[in-house]
Amino acid sequence: MTLEQLYFVAGIISSVAVIASLIFVGFQLRHSADQQRIAAAVGYYDIFRDHMKILSEAGMVDLFLRGLDTDPQEFEAADRTRLNVFYTMVTRGYQVMHYQARKKVFEEDFWLHSQNHFRDHLASKYYQGFWKARRHHFPPGFRELVDGLIKAGPTAPLLEMEP
């Protein structure tokens, strides 16, 4: 085999190696994207679990239930503070998810179902008062989303179990 033929064979082998490495990189990127989606779903569960944990604290369920039909001004300062902290955590959690949805970290279907859960919270009279007073703390795109979800109303009555 001549030197020119060896050079030609080496070029073919290196081209195949480059193609194989690009295919491998493609698989790695797909795997990484899948892992990122899984991490986002786990993050949503963590946010949800933290919200539910707060509601398990003494008196929080009563405050939450009162807030469904009561304006914030009708609460004592300590109770308003507790509900404001709760709703700030809820809202910040959904703000993070909104950012992830815009970056297409997870499927659109997952985000739509998450918004349904958020819409149920937004039906609370307390939350709506909280949002009017605090919406300026959030970026414009997220404010538009929340305003639209409030306008759309809840997906179902919050305390009913019927679909």
Tens digits of residue pLDDT in 2-13: 878 888 888 888
Q: How far apart are CA 3 and CA 23, in angstroms?
A: 30
83 close to 77: Cβ distance less than 8 angstroms? no
End-to-end CA distance of the chain: 76
Determine, yes or no, domain membership for 38. Answer: no
Q: How far apart are CA 24 and CA 17, in angstroms?
A: 10
Determine, yes or no, domain membership for 15. Answer: no
For 110, the domain range is 44-152
pLDDT 10s digits, 10-62: 888 888 888 888 888 877 877 777 777 677 667 767 777 776 777 777 788 88
Determine, yes or no, domain membership for 75. Answer: yes
pTM given for the model: 0.72
Number of domains in the chain: 1
Determine, yes or no, domain membership for 3. Answer: no
Here the tokens at position 37 are 């989606």
The H or E element containing residue 61 is helix 60-69
